[in-house]
């Protein structure tokens, strides 16, 4: 399951360049009541990444041809697309579910089992969905922000969704045995390799990497749950007088 650390981080890191302004301290505390513990886990994850995961990812990038890496990424994306289609249907988004289903069929048959991505060239856009997003559309709140050991940023809701998502991962499809663990390791390395440039950007622009990653993750997940149109949050002016008692 370790390979999903980079995939969970990807959602947050991809939005780093356009992350909204930081929330007020009270709002941040409400979203992250376990911040003290989360920061310790984050520091552990960061140390493991610096010592092991990032160096291996850099070596993988330098040794494995880009064509092979792209093909493997496409295969993983095709598997994820099938699960995205199911989640669209679970959310009542039947049109998107059908479109994602056609995308999987197209890439599976005409893209050599997903090695190629002709569906994108045909205008079948990837609309990724996971079970955490489905729970959100069903009205389940995110709950507190949490940093999972080795897995990175999440929320209570997304952690529950992650457990379900794992059941349809590429590694699970291989069943039991060494092949399953080999696939899981390859997924992790490949995903971390795809994030090398993004994490370099994070290193350059974030003064507090923990809070920057947290805020961008929460903002992006909210945006994903509501398909880019999250409800506006009402803020009360702290200087506004309370209405007179009747």
Of 149, 148, 166, 143, whose CA–CA distance to 218 is shortest?
143
pLDDT per residue as tens digits for the range 28-51: 668 999 999 999 999 999 999 999
pLDDT per residue as tens digits for the range 195-220: 998 887 777 776 888 999 999 999 99
> What average pLDDT does the structure give for the chain?
85
Residue 203 Cα to chain centre, angstroms: 19
Yes or no: say if 6 and 14 are a contact pair by the CB < 8 Å rule. no
Of 155, 162, 150, 161, whose CA–CA distance to 33 is shortest?
155
Per-residue pLDDT band for 10 (boundaries 50, 70, 90) equals: very low
In the DSSP assignment, the letter for residue 147 is: E
Q: What's the mean pLDDT in 145-156?
A: 95
pLDDT per residue as tens digits for the range 52-83: 999 999 999 999 999 999 999 999 999 999 99
User: What's the token pair of residue 49?
Assistant: 């990444």
pLDDT of residue 52: 96
166: number of Cβ within 10 Å: 14
DSSP class per residue in 18-87: GPPPPPPHHHHHHH-TTHHHHHHHHHHHHHHIIIIIHHHHHHHHHHS-HHHHHHHHHHHHHHHHHHHHHH
Q: The whole model's pTM is what?
A: 0.82
Q: Is pLDDT at 224 greater than 60 in this prediction? A: yes
| Residue 122, C-beta contacts closer than 8 angstroms, at least 6 positions apart | 106
| Residue 192, C-beta contacts closer than 8 angstroms, at least 6 positions apart | 5, 6, 49, 53, 54, 56, 57
Q: Is pLDDT at 95 greater than 90 in this prediction? A: yes
Per-residue pLDDT band for 173 (boundaries 50, 70, 90) equals: confident
């Amino acid at each position: 399951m370790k390979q999903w650390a980079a995939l969970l981080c990807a959602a947050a890191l991809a939005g780093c360049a356009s992350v909204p302004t930081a929330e007020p301290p009270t709002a941040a505390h409400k979203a992250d009541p376990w911040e003290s513990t989360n920061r310790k886990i984050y520091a552990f994850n960061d140390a493991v990444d610096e010592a092991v995961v990032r160096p291996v990812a850099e070596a993988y990038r330098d040794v494995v041809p880009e064509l092979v890496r792209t093909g493997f990424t496409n295969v993983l994306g095709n598997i994820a697309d099938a699960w995205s289609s199911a989640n669209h249907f679970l959310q009542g988004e039947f049109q998107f579910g059908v479109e994602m289903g056609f995308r999987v069929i197209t890439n599976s048959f005409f893209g050599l089992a997903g090695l190629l991505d002709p569906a994108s060239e045909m205008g079948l856009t990837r609309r990724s969905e996971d079970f955490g997003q489905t729970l959100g559309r069903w009205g389940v709140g995110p709950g507190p922000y949490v940093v999972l050991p080795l897995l990175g940023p999440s929320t209570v809701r997304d952690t529950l969704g992650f457990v379900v998502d794992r059941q349809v991962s590429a590694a699970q499809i291989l069943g039991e045995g060494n092949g399953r663990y080999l696939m899981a390791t390859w997924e992790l390395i490949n995903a971390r390799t795809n994030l090398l440039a993004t994490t370099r950007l994070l290193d350059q622009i974030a003064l507090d990497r923990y809070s920057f990653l947290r805020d961008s993750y929460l903002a992006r997940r909210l945006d994903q749950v509501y398909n880019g149109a999250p409800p506006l949050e009402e803020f009360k002016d702290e200087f506004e007088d309370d209405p007179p008692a009747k």
